[in-house]
Amino acid sequence: MKKILISICIISLAASCTKVNEHVYDKYTADQFYSTAAGADDALANVYSKITGSWGSNYAGRDNCWYDLNSFSSDEQVIPHRNTGDWQLDFAQLYTRTELPNLGIINNTWNWAYSTIYSANLAIAQLTSAKADPAKIAEAKVMRAWIYYLLIDDFGDVPFYTDNNTNVSKIPQAKRADVYNFVVNELKANVDLLSETRGGAYYGRFNKWAGYMVLAKVYLNAQVYTGTPHWAEALAAASKVASGGFTLHAAGASTTAPLGNTYYDLFGDVCPNDETIFALYITQNVISGNIYTIRSLNSPNGVALIGFAGWNGTIIPSEYYDKFDNTDVRKKQFLVGAQAGGITYTKEVSSLIDPGAGPNEGIRDDKFFPVKPSDGSGESNDFPVYRYADVLLMQAECNVRLGNVTAAAPFLNQVRERAGLSDIAAPTLDNIYDERGFELNMEGHRRQDMIRFGKFLLPHGFVQTTPAYRMLFPIPTEALNANTTLKQNPGY
């Protein structure tokens, strides 16, 4: 995938600055082109480039889109408005569950998802017409199913279409359960057609294991989407992923690893193949970028640590930080107290919105410790969408929900042991929920976990008890204006 995306960039640059006199437009028909391996990869790369995206239009890495929407609406992180006038209120509004349908991050996420679906529909049509490799058609269909899963997770009932020859202002709004059924059936029909290759040419692409990971996630949240749980099906899909030969990446002290421990290799330049199931390939200013540490650090601290001024944005709420055991290797990512550059980060934050937090209030996070190339606008750390640790925690959760507590313990304890924590002989759902928060924080899973475990509506920190309708985001105002057949989610 790296080669595919980089090749597109090089070809585009060459085309923009080179005069070409020879006309070769009729050398291949479209069907001939897309039937070739290179042509099929080109069709798929157009979809992957939308997933990685850039500012305001991306899954993760940059800001103001899917990752921010689903992370700042959880309890794991927030960007407070600063009493110095820095930072808009959008992030704090998401955290305090006071967002409105005209919030830019909501609209960006909606537009990004449907732009990606359009590209996936196009790729499927091109590849199907060309009678391309069935595995490549399946790959495009799995990507489309994944995006529809993300949409129903955030918005519930959503416009649904699989043919681009559709009047976008009249696309009907399908029921959440109906889109869920489409996603499940589409995944079941296609994941076994995908390549089993891990890494190499399939780094950053949906292979068979990534496809089953999405299926496991969809089943895991079936009760939220449809009212009917599918724990056994989720366990079977997660077990299918585990059969791909994944292992937990080793954790241990190291003078060369990020943050002094090899655990943090998982969030570096290239996500390790032993644990990574699906990752976004990122190279700063070439293919998107990763802002998550730079966005958190204050300016002098950023200069001292990485050579660039930080944006003084993201903080970790103290009640979230306090849940971590001091012996947990995952606590190394947090910065609190006196720091390099003469900065002292306070643990507590006085205000999120009015008048806002002081410049040095709040715990900071450098889980994605910047790798080069990097600059003040971001770094080149790849982003792990799905990891084997998540699979183990899903297996633990499904076993507990199915009444098999004894079977659940080994899955949970593998993750705990790597972190330097003691085993839990008879894990509860609360144990698993907490462990997911420790292991997967800053990776975009927390809001979904909070809803599935029944924690989302509970008060925490600056957040009051939340009304149930807030478990869905509002349909964006712009979408309602563009398609008058859409109905707003109740409560907004």
Are 278 and 60 in contact, with CB atoms under 8 Å apart? Answer: no
* Structure tokens belonging to residue 186: 């589409």
In a domain, 466, yes or no: yes
Q: Look at residue 200 in the predicted model and tell me its pLDDT.
A: 93
In a domain, 258, yes or no: yes
Left (φ > 0), alpha (ψ -120 to 50) or beta: where does 169 sit?
alpha
Helix (H) or strand (E) segment spanning residue 112: helix 104-129
Domain membership of residue 223 as a residue range? 2-9+28-284+384-472
Going by the DSSP 8-state scheme, the letter that residue 487 receives in this structure is: -
Tell me the one-letter amino acid at 80: P
Q: Look at residue 304 in the predicted model and tell me its pLDDT.
A: 96
Phi, psi of 48 (to 5 degrees): -60, -35
Whether the bond between 373 and the residue before it is cis, its omega within 30 degrees of 0, is yes
Separation in Å, CA 122 to CA 46, 47, 75, 126, 410:
9, 9, 38, 6, 44
* Cα–Cα distance, 225 to 202 (Å, whole number): 31
In a domain, 398, yes or no: yes
In a domain, 44, yes or no: yes
Helix (H) or strand (E) segment spanning residue 470: none
Domain harbouring 179, CATH code: 1.25.40.390
Q: Look at residue 29 in the predicted model and tell me its pLDDT.
A: 87
* Structure tokens belonging to residue 332: 């190394």
Are 147 and 154 in contact, with CB atoms under 8 Å apart? Answer: no
Phi, psi of 258 (to 5 degrees): -55, 140
In a domain, 309, yes or no: no
* Cα–Cα distance, 110 to 21 (Å, whole number): 41
Q: Which DSSP string corresponds to 197-228?
A: --SGGGTTS--HHHHHHHHHHHHHTHHHHHS-
Question: Which of 126, 117, 106, 125 is CA-nearest to residue 168?
Answer: 117
Question: Which of 473, 376, 477 is CA-nearest to residue 66?
Answer: 473
* Cα–Cα distance, 148 to 426 (Å, whole number): 36
* Structure tokens belonging to residue 222: 């079936």
In a domain, 391, yes or no: yes
In a domain, 230, yes or no: yes
Angle at 164 between CA 158 and CA 165, to 5 degrees: 115
Ranges under pLDDT 50 in the chain? 1-3, 5-25
| Three-class secondary structure of residue 243 per DSSP | coil
Q: For residue 119, count other CB atoms closer than 10 A to its CB.
A: 24
Are 363 and 336 in contact, with CB atoms under 8 Å apart? Answer: yes
Query: Scanning the structure block, which residue is given the tokens 């076993």?
Result: 399
Instruction: Taking the CA atoms of 4, 10, 13 and 19 in sequence, report the sign of the dihedral they define.
Output: negative
* Cα–Cα distance, 4 to 94 (Å, whole number): 36
Question: Which of 386, 392, 389, 415 is CA-nearest to residue 238?
Answer: 392
Going by the DSSP 8-state scheme, the letter that residue 291 receives in this structure is: -
Question: Which of 47, 51, 49 is CA-nearest to residue 59?
Answer: 51
* Structure tokens belonging to residue 352: 């999120």
Tell me the helix, strand and coil percentages in the chain, rounded to 5: 50, 10, 45
Phi, psi of 23 (to 5 degrees): -90, 120
In a domain, 246, yes or no: yes
Tell me the one-letter amino acid at 361: E
Look at the chain and report how many structural domains it folds into.
Answer: 1
Q: Look at residue 27 in the predicted model and tell me its pLDDT.
A: 56
| Three-class secondary structure of residue 47 per DSSP | helix
Residues forming beta bridges with residue 278, ordered by sequence position: 386
**Residues whose CB is less than 8 angstroms from the CB of residue 86 and which lie 6 or more positions away in sequence, other chains included:** 312, 359
* Cα–Cα distance, 470 to 485 (Å, whole number): 22
* Structure tokens belonging to residue 465: 């008890």
* Cα–Cα distance, 95 to 120 (Å, whole number): 32
